[in-house]
Amino acid sequence: QKEVEQNSGPLSVPEGAIASLNCTYSDRGSQSFFWYRQYSGKSPELIMFIYSNGDKEDGRFTAQLNKASQYVSLLIRDSQPSDSATYLCAVEDGGFKTIFGAGTRLFVKA
C-alpha cells in the first residue's frame, strides 16, 4: 500500500513567520512531488511541483525534496493570514496516479 503521510496539524504560526510543512512517502519509485493548497469548501490548487533532489523556490514558497529520506517539505516565508488553508502533499506513484496525503491545516495569526 503506497502511502503519503502528513501531520494533520493544525500548525499555527504568527503573521510574517516561516511556516514549515512536512511529508513522507513510502514508494521509493516515486519521481514527481506536488504541493496543493485547499481552502475550506474549495478544490485543491497547485502551488509547487518538484522532481529533483534539493530546493525549488517560487516567490514565498520553497519546496524541498530528499529522495534518500523519502521526505518532501514546503516552506512558506512571510506567512500571511490568507495562507491559512489545508496543504496537501501529493506524490505520483509511477503508475501515473497521484496519491495525496491527508493534509496539514495551517493557521496564520494576524
Partner 1 sequence: NAGVMQNPRHLVRRRGQEARLRCSPMKGHSHVYWYRQLPEEGLKFMVYLQKENIIDESGMPKERFSAEFPKEGPSILRIQQVVRGDSAAYFCASSPAGQAGNTIYFGEGSWLTVV
Interface residue list for partner 1 (CB under 8 A): 31-32, 34, 36, 42-46, 49, 51, 88, 92, 94-103
Residue 17 or 32: the one with the smaller Cβ distance to partner 1 is 32
Min CB(76)–partner 1 separation in Å: 20
CA-to-CA distance for 93 and 96, rounded, in angstroms? 6
Is the Cβ of residue 8 or residue 12 nearer to partner 1 in the bound state?
Answer: 8
In this complex, which beta carbon is closest to partner 1, that of residue 76 or of residue 103? 103
Q: What are phi and psi of 3, to 5 degrees?
A: -135, 155
Which residue number, 17 or 107, has a Cβ lying nearer to partner 1? Answer: 107
As measured in angstroms, the least distance from the Cβ of 110 to partner 1 is 24
Minimal distance in Å, beta carbon 17 to partner 1? 25
- In 1-110 the beta strands, taken as DSSP E runs, fall at 4-6, 11-14, 19-25, 32-38, 45-50, 54-58, 61-66, 71-76, 85-92, 98-100, 104-109
Cell of 38: 485547499
